[in-house]
Amino acid sequence: MTTKTIVLTGASDGIGAASARQLSEDGHRLILVGRSVEKTRAVAADTGAEWFTADFARLDDVRELAAKIAEAVGDGGIDVLANNAGGIFGDQTPTVDGHEKTLQVNHLAPFLLTNLLLPQLRTGHAAVINTSSVAHRLFGRIDVDDLDNRVKYSANKAYGDAKLANVLFTKSLHTKFHGEGLTSVAFHPGTVQTNFASDSSTIMRIVYRTPLKHLLLISSDKGGRTLTWFAEGTPDETWISGRYYDERVLTRRVNPMIEDAALAEALWRRSAELVGIDA
């Protein structure tokens, strides 16, 4: 197996930590990103990885993170960027940047990070892997003029919209950069036993924090192996660029909005405006 330089966000816990341990066994160079210093340091110690911390609810953290990663990889580039950080939250909460927290952590922050790392991704002819969710189909209905859901907010809709944004972002990455050798994919890892939704006031919190999780959810290791499968796979052979997968299955059960090219482009432009970069 060819070893790769893999940047993995959301690596301090859950499927990110599980995938990091799996990838380290195969000798890849790992650059792990997490919010918690203690948890991220512990996973890095287990895997021999380089590591950084960043709070995706602060876009200045993302900008600093991108600069540190660019310095760390130097001229070698990045082979895989796994945008895996995310979560569902409770009440409508603005970040210090003025955006709804679910939108920023799940979409705007990885959008910004990916764009800031484009030189390194181009050098490595990289694969960008976006952890999405079946929630994109169940709850997502994006209004580009109201990404923060100020008109009608619910935690489920905010999360569904953010996960739909992940898939539309995947589509746009393919459209814009596949001709230059970049590939992209979005996937639902399964409903996993993690700390996901622990900060949420939604019904999902009940499932994730009670014995029900043992009946309804899969293990972090199994979910991590799906992320590992994408990271170690050969783009356009193992999986098809620009598409959405339910675990490892290319599925037709998707939100029809993901096929709206005009919406994908409008979302890209609005996201660029919100994070302060050129579209």
Output the pLDDT for position 90: 87
What is the Cα–Cα distance from 251 to 169, expressed in whole angstroms?
18
Give, in order, the Cα–Cα distances in Å from 276 to each of 12, 60, 67, 99, 116.
Answer: 28, 11, 16, 13, 11
Residues 6+ apart with CB under 8 A from 172: 264, 265, 267, 268
Measured CA to CA, the distance from residue 60 to residue 95 in angstroms comes to 12
pLDDT of residue 219: 87
Q: How far apart are the first and last CA of the chain?
A: 36
pLDDT at 37: 98
Question: Structure pTM?
Answer: 0.92
153 is catalytic: no
How many whole angstroms separate alpha carbon 55 and alpha carbon 36? 8
Q: Is 242 exposed, middle or buried, given 0-12, 13-18 or 19+ CB atoms closer than 10 A? A: middle
pLDDT of residue 118: 98
148-152: Cβ within 8 A, 24+ apart:
148/92, 148/99, 148/100, 148/103, 149/92, 149/100, 149/103, 150/92
CA distance 174 to 118: 13
pLDDT recorded at residue 83:
98
3-state secondary structure of 175: helix
Identify whether the C-beta of residue 267 lies closer than 8 Å to the C-beta of residue 168: yes
Q: Are strands 243-246 and 249-250 parallel, antiparallel or unpaired?
A: antiparallel
Task: State which residues of the chain have pLDDT below 50.
Answer: 196-198, 200-201, 205-216
pLDDT tens per residue, range 208-247 = 444 444 444 668 899 999 999 999 999 999 999 999 999 9
For 225, the token pair is 């192996």
Q: Looking up tokens 């970049």, which residue turns up? A: 182
- The per-residue b/e assignment along 98-135, b for 16 or more CB within 10 angstroms, e otherwise, is ebbbbbbbbbbbbbbbbbbbbebbebbebbbbbbbbbb
**Which of 159, 208, 244, 245 is the catalytic position?**
159
DSSP annotation string for 96-157: TTSSBHHHIIIIIHHHHHHHHTHHHHHHTT-EEEEE--THHHHT----GGGTT--SS--HHH
